[in-house]
Amino acid sequence: MATVGERVSGLDSLRGTTPAKPHDARAIAALAANPGCARRALMDGAGVDKDAAARHLGFPAPFGQSPFAITRGNAFEALVKADGCAELLRLLRDVLRLPIDEVAYQDVQNVGAHLRHAHTRTLFDRAARGEQGTLYDHPLLSLKIAGHTAFLEPDVVAFQHGGRFHIVEIKSFAVIDGQADPASVSAAARQAAVYVLALRTLLEELGHDPLLVAHDVVLVCPENFANRPMATLVDVRRQLAVLKRQLARMTSIDRLLAELPEGVSFDLLPGEDGAPTRSAEALAEAIQQVSARYAPDCLSTCDLCFFCRDEARRDGASDQLGRQVRDELGGVATVEEALALADGLREPAPGQEEIARLLRDAERLRRECLA
Amino acid sequence: MSDDLDALERRIDLLRAQVRTAARAREAALARELRGQLRKAERAWDTLVSAPPQVAARPGEQEGRVAVPVRERVHRALTLLGVPAAGRLVVSVHDAFFAEPLRSSQLTTLRRDEERTFRRSPYARPHYVCAALTDRLTPARGLLAVSTWPQERRVVGPLSPRVDFLVATVQVAACAGRLDDPSPAARRLLARMARNVPDAGSGFGEPDPERVAVAARAELAVHLEADTRQRAELAQRAAAQLDEVACLFGAATLSDVARKGACA
């Protein structure tokens, strides 16, 4: 087993001269969305700027937040936090049964950026020791990702009288008639799980019980078509488990590193103006040395999605049909192979008999229906 | 404006040519009339050229009345509230109870401008719009206060944001209650504040200002004692460690506090 130092240097050489891209909560949460992807695990572990790489390869990512969405999100957050978090206090008194006298508010942003993490530690240490404190606005937490420290900034952390910390996540997607867009909610839950984990780590470092941080996070969203906020408790235990597993995998990234051929690097070789000088073909070749696990869901979470989709399409891989189809077609890698098995043009390899029989039956049914 | 001048110059040229033609044709009456028109055009050209560049009328500036400067408008709203407030609340209060409009974009540089004015000639004005100080004696993000308030009111402890919100609610309710017919903006403001005070209203219809004030005072009673104590401590520290500019506008960094503290 490689030591941490060896691993970090291995990852650094993978990234090369390109500066490391710090992880944010969104990126860490996206990790948990596709735990099986070695390409993503390695590139994230090495802190490669996937967005820049994708752009250089000619497959720029389709997302990135629109400036309108960011403005809307900030305006809604300001509304919830206006007047000493007046709206938020009403919601928390409702959802967490926060007692009336729990109103102390600390704006951690009042402190300069370089001191904010230290200040956050002091404040949470005091809170865990039982000193007064209820709402912490924009504390700065940290999480170690494969040897690199990522700094995270949850919207608000609420501390309840019962002695539990709750992460509050303010999102500007609407909850209409008690229903919100499931994809947005699960993305928010994944992101909140990152904060829960970071805060638990912080408390553990300070010598407190990490379970003081509740696994229920408070999700604040606009209600119906007005801008009036509402709050719901979301259980993030599942997301937390996935995230922990993924992070543990990242720390066991040595295996992935060891499997890499010598001399592979994702370096963009940025020139003096920061523009990449490495040829796109060479970079693509290097990236293809690491297997990806493309799924259509990647389109909303990963910067490299178009590159991987193109690769999956070229190979005719069954991955592009979605996770469910891929799992059912276990052992059959390409669409062509599946069709050949169904037509009986191809003899099933050992271990493929079961899926071949199913495919043939399906083909027979289809023919009967169409006849 | 240059478009008007161009048009006038073209007209003047045309009129001159017409006057010359009329004179040559010995049509005295026509020539006289055209000369009159030419004079008029030339006079208009003169006034346009020598006029100072036109300033678009400021919103709220009405004939015969000078608009109140932004700092005075903010001061008025803050005096009504009686506690440090964020720009957003200042704007809503001003909209609700005063005639001239106040835009939040007008507040962005206000605190910095006031600080510069104060540094140039301290206490030249009766009051300044200044900052509220945090427990680290740095300026609190986004909060505005009035320099004539006692220092205890210009510092914010952990409980102060809530206390200040409740005091502001009481003040707004009192103002709305005094008016026979509060403006729609005032009603909206009161409804918004009442929603976040426990037992201030049923949630349907307009809140009753008196009931809102009573409810806000009831919650205020829970926090006030602790908050007053914390604020007094902070104010003492500020007085001991800060110079007069920093007392109003906050210490820029912690090292400022430390340096002054070491000297004292």
Indicate the average pLDDT of chain A: 83
**By the CB < 8 Å criterion, does A223 face chain B?**
no
Among A83, A112, A132, select the one facing B89 at the smallest CB separation: A83
Length of chain A, in residues: 371
**The pLDDT value given to residue B60:** 46
Cβ neighbors of B64 (< 8 A, separation 6 or more) are: none
Phi, psi of A135 (to 5 degrees): -115, 130
CA distance, residue B196 to nearest chain A CA (Å):
6
Kindly provide the residue ranges of all beta strands, DSSP E only, lying in A121-225, ordered along the sequence: 135-137, 141-145, 148-152, 156-159, 165-170, 216-222
Is the four-CA dihedral A240, A246, A247, A248 of positive or negative sign? positive
DSSP A283: H
Nearest CB to B165; choose among A83, A106, A107: A83
Residues B61 and B67: beta-carbon distance below 8 Å:
yes
Q: Which residue of B has its CA nearest to A135?
A: B158
- Contact across the interface for A103 and B223, Cβ inside 8 Å: yes
| Structural tokens at position A14 | 């993978």
Of A78, A100, A104, the CB nearest to B158: A104
pLDDT at A66 over 50: yes
At residue B124, the pLDDT reads: 87
| d(CA A126, nearest CA chain B) in Å | 13
Minimal Cβ distance to B141: which of A90, A103, A107: A107
Q: How many CB pairs under 8 A join A and B?
A: 62
Mean pLDDT within A148-170: 82
Residues of B in contact with A120 (CB under 8 A): none
Torsion angle, CA of A229/A235/A240/A241, rounded to 10 degrees?
-160
Say which range, A147-161, B154-168, B201-215, has the weakest mean pLDDT. A147-161
Q: A112 and chain B: CB distance < 8 Å anywhere? A: yes
pLDDT at res. A216: 92
Name the pLDDT band for A354 (thresholds 50, 70, 90): confident
Report yes or no: A86 at the B interface, CB cutoff 8 Å. Answer: yes
Distances (CA, A) of B144 to A201, B57, B129, B141: 37, 28, 7, 9
The pLDDT value given to residue B220? 93
The mean of the pLDDT values for chain B is 85
Residues of chain A with Cβ-Cβ distance to B160 below 8 Å are 84
Q: From the CA of A202, how many Å to the nearest CA of chain B?
A: 22
Decide if A90 and B140 are in contact by the 8 Å CB cutoff. Answer: no
Residue partners of B227: CB distance under 8 A and separation at least 6: B157, B159, B160, B163
CA distances from B88 to A42, B82, B95, B106 (A): 46, 15, 11, 11
Q: What's the Cα-to-Cα distance from B218 to each of A366, B172, B212, B227, B231, rounded to whole Å?
A: 73, 16, 10, 15, 20
| pLDDT at residue B130 greater than cutoff 80 | yes
Residues forming beta bridges with residue A141, ordered by sequence position: A152
Q: Which are the contacts of A318, defined by CB distance < 8 A and separation ≥ 6?
A: A325, A326, A329, A332, A333, A334, A335, A338
| Bridge partners, residue A148, by sequence | A145
Residues of B whose CB is below 8 A from A112:
253
Overall fold of domain A67-245: Lambda Exonuclease; Chain A (3.90.320)
Question: What residues of B are in contact with residue A106 (Cβ under 8 Å)?
Answer: 158
Which positions in chain B touch A82 (Cβ < 8 Å)?
86, 88-89
**A1 has a pLDDT exceeding 50:** no
- Using a CB-CB cut-off of 8 Å, the residues of chain A touching B138 are 110-111
pLDDT at B56: 47
Paired with A179 in beta bridges are A176
Which residue out of B165, B166, B256 would a mutagenesis test of the A interface target, given it has the greatest number of A Cβ atoms within 10 Å? B165
Per-residue pLDDT tens over the stretch A19-49: 777 777 777 777 767 777 888 878 877 778 8
pTM value? Answer: 0.73
Nearest CA to A169 out of A273, A25, A60 is that of A25
Enumerate the residues of chain B whose CB falls inside 8 A of the CB of residue A93: 198
Question: Measured between CB atoms, which of B141, B162, B195 is closest to A109?
Answer: B141
pLDDT at A117 exceeding the cut of 50: yes
Q: Which of A163-177, B163-177, B240-254 has the highest average model confidence (pLDDT)?
A: B163-177
Cα angle for residues B88, B194, B101 (degrees, 5° grid): 35
Residue pLDDT, tens place only, A197-219: 999 999 999 998 989 899 999 99
Interface probe for B, chosen from A80, A103, A106 (most Cβ of B below 10 Å), is A103
B90, two tokens: 């200042």
Q: Distance (Å, rounded) from C-alpha A21 to C-alpha A4?
A: 19
Tell me the percentage of chain A whose pLDDT exceeds 70: 93
Contact present, A243 and A194 (Cβ < 8 Å):
yes
- Which helix (H) or strand (E) segment is A292 a member of? none
Q: Rounded to whole angstroms, how far apart are CA atoms A40 and A36?
A: 9
Annotated domain spans of chain A: 4-64+260-328, 67-245
Q: Which residues contact A273 (CB under 8 A, 6 or more apart)?
A: none
**Which of B196, B199, B253 best probes binding to A when mutated, by most A CB atoms within 10 angstroms?**
B196
**Chain A residues lying within 8 Å of B165, measured CB to CB:** 83-84, 86
Q: For A228, name the nearest residue in chain B, comparing CA atoms only.
A: B192
Contact indicator for A270, A18 with CB cutoff of 8 Å = yes
Cβ–Cβ contact A100 with B under 8 A: yes
**Is A78 within 8 Å of B88 when comparing Cβ atoms?**
yes
Mean pLDDT lowest among A258-272, A354-368, B6-20: A258-272
Q: Which residue has the higher pLDDT, B20 or A324?
A: B20
Q: How far is B227 from chain A (nearest CA, A)?
A: 10
| Interatomic CA distance for residues A84 and A107, integer angstroms | 9
Span A315-324, pLDDT tens digits: 888 888 887 7
Which of A107-116, A136-145, B77-86, B128-137 is least confident? A107-116
**Candidate from A85, A90, A107 with C-beta closest to B195:** A90
Taking the C-alpha atoms of residue A195 and residue B205, their distance in angstroms, rounded to an integer, is: 40
**Which pLDDT value is given to residue B264?**
39
Helices (H), B99-208: 110-120, 160-178, 184-195
Closest chain A residue to B143, measured at CA = A83
- Confirm if A59 and A310 have CB atoms less than 8 A apart: yes
